[in-house]
Chain A
Amino acid sequence: MMKKFTTILCTASMALCLTACGGGKEKDITVDTAKLANELQAAVTSDTLSETASDMLSSIYFFEDGVIEEGAAYASSGATACEIAVVKSKDAKDTANVEKLFQTRVDNQSSLYASYNEGEVKKLDEAIIKSAGSYTVLCVCDDPDKANDILKDYGF
């Protein structure tokens, strides 16, 4: 009896763990990428960011052809490392790869800013990279706490 109870308990625990692990990324949410990107750039950075043409996103972040369904990005005129990108992958399974590309971008930027404007490296260290459903966000900004609050409201 005890053995049976333990087996059921273990199975239930495993199932709960698996559900918890996958829960964050497989939410079925819908995000207006342009609206979220615009809201972030207006609220979390003191730099004047401008919207980057969507055609340029692949060459900046190295997305493979056909992976991204839509996206919006704001970047600095060159004065700071601040940038915001919100993209929707065609397949939610690709978000892990998008996160990896965002992390590579942050690492590359960090190594370049280290010798150019060291003050910006801290922002890159605190860069937010998050996924929810098919969406992934990169946010390098002055106020990561506020950015996280905004992202929470959007389901991230």
Chain B
Amino acid sequence: MGKPKRKRAKKQDHLILNLLILVTVVLVVFEGRLVVTMFTYRSVTNASPVTAQSGTSASSTGSMTESQQTENASTTNGSSSMEASLAGLPGNLSIPEGSDHSTTSAPSSNAVVPKASTPVDDSYFSDAVFIGDSRMEGFRNASGITQGRFFTSVGMSLSSMRSENIIQTPDGNITVAAALSGGTYNKIYIMLGTNDLGEYDWNSFQDGFVSAVKRFQEIQPGALIYICSVIYVEESKVDSTQYVNNANVDKINSILLDICEEQGYHYLNLNEFLSNGYGALIDGASSDGVHIYPDYCKQMLDYLKSHYIPVNQPDDTSSDETEATTDADDSV
């Protein structure tokens, strides 16, 4: 009579043991991921300070020689490149979602704006202009931001930003350049690229982007230029995954980062907090896979408030190269 009971007790012990093992495995997998993300976040925020904080000019950021870059790349090992991807920084190669990210190189860069010790308030944006697509428009609508001008348009692409009448006014739509000429701005935030993910002539994109921003600098000489990374997407919710995918987001972000390094612009790595840790938008952050929910727009505002170039630090990126002009009707 006592044997079956002992057997049952043994079976229960095994069951409990198996359950414990399962729980341990789950904890190791998920917590391990959190630990990796935590460390990579630190590695990004501890990256070399950007121009104004280090006292060096932004143009010197851009003057990082090719050999230095090669040297940096050569010291990059597989684990650090994975960390960079987990931290939302673009790699130099496109990374398909779900890949092991082992082929990317670490893009630690002086152009990435690090977290400031003290966040600013909305008044920092009083002389700022935000240029961008529907994602930037969503940020204006949902973040709770109270200051700054927004020249945004649904569907804005590099091409339309340069030449089409897409910015709303009481008298109809006008070009971004014309809108920009209507005021004086000391900071220009640009969020562009989502509608260019199907652009596979990346060299042409890079040249066009630089040309457009230089035109903005002519209109607003001396303005700080902030380039926002293209936010990851939730591929499972996107219709046009043949080009709106995270591999292309990584590719375009690596181009934007290159541009920032070369031109002395300041790169805002929004995927630092919007990435799920594996090169995609956080699950459930968006209804359609592209446009993020209000809570994340609010987080984006907090991010911008804590990632900025102090205004008392002169930014000499544009003063030497550009001249003021009032020719508002020229397309960029």
Which residues of A line the B interface, CB within 8 A? 47-48, 50, 52-53, 55-56, 59-60, 62, 75-79, 101, 104-105, 107-109, 111-113, 115-117
B residues with CB within 8 A of A: 133-135, 137-138, 140-142, 144-147, 149-150, 153-155, 166, 168-173, 286-288, 290-294, 297
A residues near B297, Cβ cutoff 8 Å = 50, 77
Complex formed: what's the CA distance from A127 to B227 in Å? 35
Q: How far is the CB of A127 from chain B (nearest CB, A)?
A: 15
The total of interchain contacts (Cβ-Cβ below 8 angstroms) comes to: 82
Q: How far is the CB of A103 from chain B (nearest CB, A)?
A: 11
Please tell me which one of the listed residues B149, B154, B168, B169 contacts residue A78 in the complex, with CB atoms under 8 A apart.
B154
Q: From residue A142, how far is it (CB to closest CB) to chain B in Å? A: 14
- Check B150 against A59 for contact (C-beta < 8 Å): yes
Q: Are A76 and B155 in contact (CB under 8 A)?
A: no
A47 nearest CB neighbor, chain B only: B287
Asked whether B294 lies within 8 Å of A56 as measured between CB atoms, the reply is: no
Contact B138 A104, beta carbon cutoff 8 Å: no
B168 touches A108 (CB 8 A): yes
Q: How far is the CA of A55 from the CA of B149 in the complex (A)?
A: 11
Beyond A48-B287, A104-B170, A112-B166, whether A78 also contacts B141 by CB under 8 A is yes
- Chain A at the B interface: SS class: helix
Contact A53 B146 (CB under 8 A): yes
Complex: A29 Cα to B147 Cα, angstroms: 32
Q: B141 near A77 (CB under 8 angstroms)?
A: yes
Partner among B145, B155, B170, B287 whose Cβ is within 8 Å of the Cβ of A53: B145
**Given the complex, which residues of B lie within 8 Å of A111, measured CB to CB?**
173
Q: Note all chain B residues with C-beta closer than 8 A to A55.
A: 146-147
Q: B141 near A62 (CB under 8 angstroms)?
A: no
Q: How far is the CA of A48 from the CA of B138 in the complex (A)?
A: 11
CA A80 to CA B292, docked complex, whole Å: 12
Of the candidates A59, A79, A107, A116, which one forms a contact with B291 in the assembled complex, judged by CB atoms under 8 Å apart?
Answer: A79
User: Is there contact, CB below 8 Å, between A78 and B294?
Assistant: no
Asked if residues B170 and A76 are in contact (CB atoms below 8 Å), the reply is: no
Besides the contacts A77-B297, A79-B291, A112-B166, what 10 more A-B pairs have beta carbons closer than 8 Å? Answer: A53-B144, A56-B146, A75-B141, A77-B286, A78-B141, A78-B154, A79-B290, A104-B170, A111-B173, A113-B155
